[in-house]
Structure 1
């Protein structure tokens, strides 16, 4: 595929939904707090549980993706931590900046991209689901904990984390899969409807957030975050793939996943817990906008390197 074909057939459909969300918000002024809670407490847990239940998990596949993910996250964390200290960010900004680089849109952006790039290949989607699961586990544990700990203390932050449904959805989904426990048809049908709703609603939420944003301050920090997420991120992923000698679909899917823009959930969490919400939303907006170019390039490079 050439760059134009990749953009038109893979990237453009995603941004059409984002644009619709922005237009609808301008017309009807959605309640953002309601959209936030729908995503966190309803759609994301539903997607995680059902996709983990459906995915054909093998220990070899899980271990390989897990190894790549841990190496990638640790190195990216260290680089982000060093940069935040070099630029003397205050504690709340340091947390928001590191969240914007560490947590990428592996769900409502990465899943449809994977689906379109690999033409609904179950093996490739399994890789994306594992990455999505690990991303959510990290985001809804360390991500929220780090935001809360700087404001209300570590103990209260841990208690709040235990209230999040995503972790329990992951445990249930993995348990059902490993022990081959079938879900009753009526539960599976309900869960499938919820899982299928995530992409459309999450991208609509992103569009609504985009529509209410204005670039007013912290532009240098925002662009630094964008460079880290869209350029440094996939570069580190490529180097890790080379060093670990991973090949084929796993390498290609992981490389593409690493190029996703900042997760809209980071903005949702920042708004929910009042931790630099303006910066977080602008980082999502900017990285999502520029990803139209960078993700297209990464997908193109992946077809040259790994196929």
Structure 2
């Protein structure tokens, strides 16, 4: 059965490396903060630069993905508001709840899934890299604004994002690609080494992060978040894809990208700014576990209908 093949060949390998990270964290108490910083400041920027530099991406494709992303997160946010009100969440809980729905794990979960599904297809990976970059920009701008701006102000929160290397890796990759800038071997070779290490280190980090999550929040709030993130996300994405007339690899990659579980970083920023961190952590944990089923079904659905 194809669903079982997808589960075995695509989802299981991801959870194997995550499991290793989980065990290593429990046994050796890894410095997860250092691992996370290595991803954010070293592996992810290198990966983004290499993929955007080495793949031909038209501005039309970039524009389409950008518009798709904006529509997706806006609609998810709009849906999350009445659901949060229905649960009678307080103001701070509403922020954590909405963030858990809008921010999905495009990096250390989405990239490996894309790589396994599309066999390292450059077009599919370019779609995922753009989604990853947009998610990072969105998370470290609006995501932090929603939690931090009341304390330090929006301008200071915005300036803090410009210290993140992801934005500059994106710009450098696109500019060098468009301008056809030749890179010397002493730059290109180490850049590729960095990019190749991103997936394994990202999954290892994700496993270690999950090992540190603590469960104390109510399950009803978690359930609604999972329904919107793991089911609502792909459904909305499918409608947008059809409205845009997208098809083939690009359509499949976008649909699968929209099905990723809640971003671990949504829990990280909730913890850092003390905004119901227990709720955020529980959502991330259950979202990651249940995604093994929902992402498998989304991959099957994408292959069948797109």
Residue 122, structure 1, aligned to residue 122, structure 2: yes
Return closer, same or farther for 1:90/1:7 CA change in 2, 3 Å cut-off.
same
Q: How far off its partner does 1:272 sit?
A: 4.0
Return closer, same or farther for 1:43/1:265 CA change in 2, 3 Å cut-off.
farther
Aligned partner of residue 181 in structure 1, secondary structure: coil
Deviations 1:31-80 (Å, cap 9, x if unpaired)? 23222322222222222222222221112322222222222122112112
TM-score (norm 2): 0.92
The aligned residue for residue 285 of structure 1 is 285
The aligned residue for residue 178 of structure 2 is 178
Contiguous gaps of at least 5 residues in structure 2 = none
Q: How far off its partner does 1:299 sit?
A: 0.7
Which deviates more, 59-68 or 85-94? Answer: 85-94
Aligned partner of residue 246 in structure 2, secondary structure: coil
- Matched-pair contact (CA < 8 Å) for 2:51–2:125: no
The aligned residue for residue 111 of structure 1 is 111
Q: How far off its partner does 1:10 sit?
A: 0.3
Q: How far off its partner does 1:133 sit?
A: 2.1
Aligned partner of residue 214 in structure 2, secondary structure: coil
Q: How far off its partner does 1:149 sit?
A: 1.1
Q: Name the CA distance, whole Å, in 1 between partners of 2:94 and 2:190.
A: 40
Contiguous gaps of at least 5 residues in structure 1 = none
The aligned residue for residue 82 of structure 2 is 82
* 1:20-99 pair list within 5 angstroms: 20-99=20-99
Q: Name the CA distance, whole Å, in 2 between partners of 1:52 and 1:273.
A: 33
- Matched-pair contact (CA < 8 Å) for 1:140–1:167: no
TM-score (norm 1): 0.92
Deviations 1:137-182 (Å, cap 9, x if unpaired)? 2222222232221332223212322222222222222221222212
Aligned partner of residue 261 in structure 1, secondary structure: coil
Q: How far off its partner does 1:286 sit?
A: 0.8
Q: Name the CA distance, whole Å, in 2 between partners of 1:195 and 1:270.
A: 29
Q: Name the CA distance, whole Å, in 2 between partners of 1:283 and 1:94.
A: 13
- Matched-pair contact (CA < 8 Å) for 2:83–2:224: no
Residue 229, structure 1, aligned to residue 226, structure 2: no
- Matched-pair contact (CA < 8 Å) for 1:97–1:225: yes
Q: CA RMSD in A?
A: 1.9
Q: How far off its partner does 1:303 sit?
A: 1.4
Q: How far off its partner does 1:230 sit?
A: 0.3
Return closer, same or farther for 1:36/1:92 CA change in 2, 3 Å cut-off.
farther
- Matched-pair contact (CA < 8 Å) for 2:216–2:282: no
Return closer, same or farther for 1:76/1:22 CA change in 2, 3 Å cut-off.
same
Return closer, same or farther for 1:267/1:185 CA change in 2, 3 Å cut-off.
farther
How many residues align structurally? Answer: 306
